[in-house]
Amino acid sequence: MPAAGIHPAAGINLNNHYVMRFFLSLILTVALAYVLGMFLDWWSIALAAFAAALLLPQTPGKAFFSGFLGIALLWGMMAGIMDLRNDHILATRMSKLILQSASPFAMVMITAVLGGIVGALSALSASVIRRKRA
């Protein structure tokens, strides 16, 4: 029987406060980005990742990764859902135009990666600013 707090399949110790802070930062980034995205433009993801990294102190590497992963997951899921709702019409046309091949999945992945890069750089900036202030 595994020890309390350790996920048997992944071997992740969930009692470690650094791991919990990472997941909390990830969830906060996704939630803030989703809510701000309802009222502001696409750049609101940068505000969400920046605020999450500023509120929850992490090392710059972990902040970069949590910002990237949170926004990439959010934008990937949102782009995938929108793509499924319109039967891949827009993503297929855009991939033919940009990639010269009909690959709607590639367009969803490119969207997720670009959003992830914006979130990662924003979270990294907040982490470095917080580190310099302290």
Q: Which of 75, 62, 83 is nearest to 113 (CA)?
A: 75
Q: How many residues does this entry show for the chain? A: 134
pLDDT at 4: 55
The SS3 of residue 11 is coil
Whether 81 has a pLDDT exceeding 90, the answer reads yes
**Residue-wise over 63-101: b if at least 16 C-beta within 10 A, else e?**
bbbbbbbbbbbbbbebbbeebeeeebeebbebbeeeeee
Whether 1 has a pLDDT exceeding 50, the answer reads no
Helices 104-133 + 17-39 axis angle, to 10: 120
pLDDT at 101: 86
Give the residues across from 13 on adjacent strands.
6
Q: Which of 79, 81, 105 is nearest to 92 (CA)?
A: 105
pLDDT at 99: 87
Q: Residue 43, by phi and psi: left (phi above 0), alpha (psi -120 to 50) or beta?
A: alpha
| Mean pLDDT computed over 19-40 | 92
Q: How confident is the model at residue 134 (pLDDT cuts 50, 70, 90)?
A: low
User: Of the ranges 29-33, 67-71, 126-130, which one carries the lowest mean pLDDT score?
Assistant: 126-130
Rounded to whole angstroms, the Cα distance separating 98 from 55 reads 38
Rounded to whole angstroms, the Cα distance separating 52 from 31 reads 10
Whether 123 has a pLDDT exceeding 60, the answer reads yes
| Mean pLDDT computed over 72-89 | 93
